[in-house]
């Protein structure tokens, strides 16, 4: 029996939503989550450790794992090759980076719509987003800037993540500025997950998961139904029998 199922993916590919669906298996603890302006926001066993910027000492946060009769599903931006240093025998589900131009454009639009143009619910989440983006090294301006009273007041408004990007850059939150920053940052931190299946790893092609026509035409595949989410869940369920 696995202790964890790690769902590994890059931002914007739908990994948290998939993690929640996987966790509905009766052999798993249901992953606590909420809808965040149309985006799935989960609360996993490791308190989102693997969705934050990479920590070189991440293993120090994984001590004293509590036993459980059920499996915990953990969404992760860390690659399986990294996680297997500490968790070699767990089950991994990986959403691979798009292989086609159509797939990459789909992901780019999804990242813009589902991440940049959405909102966090609480001030604490917005502050975390602010600091996370700066520490990730995305911004050339004020990389260690603290959240002062003025910034705090602005973050406390009903603003989108895109508007937070503009605050970090110190520019007005116009569509022109948002689109310019997004274009500059698009792909800068992508890892391009490219994994093959093995006995403890299920690899999912981004195009297949999203029924992107270009993928199926290039690979001579006609029946899209077999590649939808339910097939993915069936594959995972078979591993848990």
pLDDT in tens, 199-219: 899 998 888 888 765 544 454
Average pLDDT on 103-130 reads 88
Q: 3-class SS at 228?
A: coil
pLDDT at 179: 94
Average pLDDT on 119-147 reads 68
pLDDT at 97: 92
- Alpha carbon distance 22, 232 (integer Å): 9
Half-sphere exposure at residue 160, Cβ-oriented, CA atoms within 13 angstroms: 17
- Stated as kind and residue range, the H or E segment containing 5 is strand 4-8
Please check the confidence at residue 83 and state whether its pLDDT lies above 60. yes
For 62, residues 6+ apart whose C-beta sits below 8 A from its C-beta are 46, 49, 86
Cα 83 to Cα 33, 67, 86, 227, distances in angstroms:
23, 19, 6, 27
- Alpha carbon distance 154, 128 (integer Å): 14
Please check the confidence at residue 240 and state whether its pLDDT lies above 90. no
pTM over the 0.85 mark: no
pLDDT at 2: 93
**Residue spans of beta strands (DSSP E) within 38-156:** 39-43, 71-76, 91-96
- Stated as kind and residue range, the H or E segment containing 230 is helix 229-239
For the chain, the domains span 4-97+191-239, 104-185
Please check the confidence at residue 185 and state whether its pLDDT lies above 90. no
Cα 104 to Cα 13, 100, 176, distances in angstroms:
10, 6, 22
């Amino acid at each position: 029996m696995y202790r964890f199922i790690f769902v590994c993916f890059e931002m914007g590919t739908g990994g948290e939503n998939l993690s929640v669906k996987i966790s509905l298996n009766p052999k798993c603890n249901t992953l606590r989550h909420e809808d965040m302006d149309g985006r799935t926001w989960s609360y996993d066993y490791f308190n989102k450790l693997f969705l934050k910027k990479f920590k070189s000492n991440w293993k120090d946060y994984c001590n004293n794992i509590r036993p459980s009769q059920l499996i915990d599903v953990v969404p992760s931006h860390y690659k399986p090759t990294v996680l297997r240093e500490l968790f070699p025998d767990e089950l991994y589900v990986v959403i691979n980076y798009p292989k086609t131009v159509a797939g990459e454009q789909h992901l780019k639009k999804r990242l813009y719509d589902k991440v940049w143009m959405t909102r966090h619910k609480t001030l604490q989440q917005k502050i975390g987003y602010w600091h996370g983006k700066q520490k990730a090294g995305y911004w050339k301006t004020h990389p260690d800037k603290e959240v002062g009273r003025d910034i705090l007041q602005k973050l406390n408004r009903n603003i989108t993540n895109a508007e937070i990007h503009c605050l970090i850059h110190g520019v007005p939150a116009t569509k022109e500025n948002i689109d310019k920053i997004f274009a500059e940052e698009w792909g800068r931190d992508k890892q391009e997950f490219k994994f093959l299946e093995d006995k403890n790893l299920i690899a999912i092609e981004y195009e297949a998961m999203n029924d992107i026509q270009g993928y199926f035409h290039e690979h001579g595949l006609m029946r899209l139904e077999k590649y939808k989410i339910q097939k993915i869940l069936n594959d995972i369920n078979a591993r848990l029998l």
